[in-house]
């Protein structure tokens, strides 16, 4: 989950602002049970996201990661004044710093201070951070800055929200189904017997999350589509089908359900164990790769790094019993 943090540890109010020094998360449930969540100045629509107990976040297949911090609209002129003046009056940050801040925001001018003469024409932007504080969370250390409505944020403000940055933030909110594959034979497979593997096509469909900043009229949707399943048998004494262990999606399905009478056929996706698991099991790892692309305001769009999500399941492998007469 993405949350926002503020600089000084003082209560603040603003876009998504609470009164405990952190940015409040707001959730609104619709009639269909879906939820949109406001976090860090950004609204996330998760109505088309993956659901259920087994869902989880995708992990980038490269070293890329979503922004650890970002800038977004935070205050109207009056809200910024209401936030800063109590801090100055408390003298908790020191006279010299307070004086510079009053000068910066032209606080003594009742009509133009804090850009009150531009009320309704723009916002003061501020920084927000990922609540898990990943590497880089402290890089958005610029003080509040003004952006007129309709203007892009300053180019030197890295991760100031644009459609692309919103797409990257939406990436972090994507949840995809768990990857427990269906196996045949189901209870226990046999040594040297091809074991068929497939995924429920009804669950493995594209999912998406839309991130938006309504105050400035921009949004982006990140969509994840399943493209392949990689099977790792959990022992070197096994063969996979295909030999690469990567089963590509075909006709909207990964693998194919086993049908009676095909026990000796080569499955399009599966594994053949060459020895038994004895009294234990083999940890079969099943990992789905999801291609992720995005579209956004102004016909923007593109690709984001593939994501993966996997799970381990225990497989019992038994010796084929022969009857001696």
Tens of pLDDT, residues 22-58: 334 444 544 444 557 777 789 999 999 998 888 999 9
Annotate 73-141 with DSSP letters as a single string: EEE-HHHHHHHHHHHHHHT-S-HHHHHHHHHHTTTT-TTTGGGGGGTTSEEEEEEEE-TT--TTTT---
Q: What is the pLDDT of residue 14?
A: 53
Q: What is the pLDDT of residue 323?
A: 42
How many Å apart are CA 136 and CA 67, to the nearest integer? 8
Q: What is the pLDDT of residue 313?
A: 94
How many Å apart are CA 121 and CA 73, to the nearest integer? 12
pLDDT over 90 percentage in the chain: 70
Q: What is the pLDDT of residue 126?
A: 96
Torsion region of 280: left, alpha or beta (phi above 0 gives left; psi -120 to 50 gives alpha): beta
Annotate 34-54 with DSSP letters as a single string: -EEEEETTEEEE-TTS--STT
Q: What is the pLDDT of residue 11?
A: 35
Q: How many CB atoms lie within 10 A of CB 227?
A: 14
Residue 271 has pLDDT above 50, yes or no: yes
CB 24 within 8 A of CB 16: yes
SS3 7: coil
Residue 59 has pLDDT above 90, yes or no: yes
Residue 16 has pLDDT above 70, yes or no: no
Q: What is the pLDDT of residue 293?
A: 98
In the structure, what pLDDT confidence band is assigned to residue 304 with cuts at 50, 70 and 90? Answer: very high
Q: What is the pLDDT of residue 22?
A: 36
Render pLDDT for 108-145 as a digit per residue (tens, 0 to 9).
999 999 999 999 999 999 999 988 888 999 999 999 99
CB 61 within 8 A of CB 307: yes
Tokens found for residue 64: 């890329």
- Residue 183: is the preceding peptide bond cis (ω within 30°)? no
How many Å apart are CA 31 and CA 165, to the nearest integer? 30
Residue 229 has pLDDT above 70, yes or no: yes
Q: What is the pLDDT of residue 310?
A: 93
Average pLDDT over residues 295-306: 97
Annotate 178-194 with DSSP letters as a single string: --PPEEESSS-EETT--
| Sequence-separated (6 or more) residues with CB below 8 Å from residue 68 | 129, 130, 133, 134, 135, 136, 137, 139
Report the predicted TM-score, pTM, of the whole model to 2 decimal places. Answer: 0.84
CB 140 within 8 A of CB 159: yes
């Amino acid at each position: 989950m993405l949350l926002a943090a503020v600089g000084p540890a003082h209560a603040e109010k603003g876009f998504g602002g609470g009164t405990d020094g952190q940015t409040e998360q707001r959730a609104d449930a619709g009639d269909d049970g879906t939820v949109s969540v406001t976090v860090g100045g950004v609204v996330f629509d998760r109505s088309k996201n993956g659901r259920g107990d087994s869902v989880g976040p995708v992990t980038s297949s490269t070293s890329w990661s979503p922004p650890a911090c970002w800038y977004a609209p935070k205050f109207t002129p009056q809200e910024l004044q209401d936030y800063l003046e109590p801090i100055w009056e408390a003298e908790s940050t020191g006279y010299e710093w307070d004086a510079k801040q009053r000068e910066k925001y032209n606080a003594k001018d009742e009509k133009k201070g804090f850009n009150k003469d531009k009320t309704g024409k723009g916002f003061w932007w501020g920084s927000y951070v990922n609540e898990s504080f990943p590497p880089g969370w402290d890089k958005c250390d610029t003080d509040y800055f003004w952006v007129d409505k309709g203007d892009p944020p300053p180019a030197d403000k890295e991760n100031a929200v644009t459609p692309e940055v919103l797409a990257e933030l939406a990436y972090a909110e994507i949840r995809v189904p768990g990857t427990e594959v269906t196996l045949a034979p189901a209870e226990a497979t046999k040594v040297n017997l091809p074991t068929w593997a497939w995924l429920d096509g009804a669950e493995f469909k594209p999912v998406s999350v839309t991130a938006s900043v309504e105050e400035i009229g921009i949004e982006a949707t990140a969509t994840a589509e399943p493209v392949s399943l990689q099977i790792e048998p959990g022992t070197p004494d096994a063969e996979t089908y295909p030999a690469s262990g990567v089963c590509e999606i075909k006709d909207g399905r990964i693998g194919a359900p086993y049908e009676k009478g095909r026990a000796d056929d080569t499955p399009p996706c599966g594994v053949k164990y060459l020895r038994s698991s004895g009294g234990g099991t083999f940890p079969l790892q099943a990992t789905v790769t999801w291609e992720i692309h995005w579209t956004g305001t102004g016909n923007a769009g593109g690709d984001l790094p593939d994501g993966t999500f996997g799970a381990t399941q225990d497989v019992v492998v038994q010796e084929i019993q022969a009857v001696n007469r």
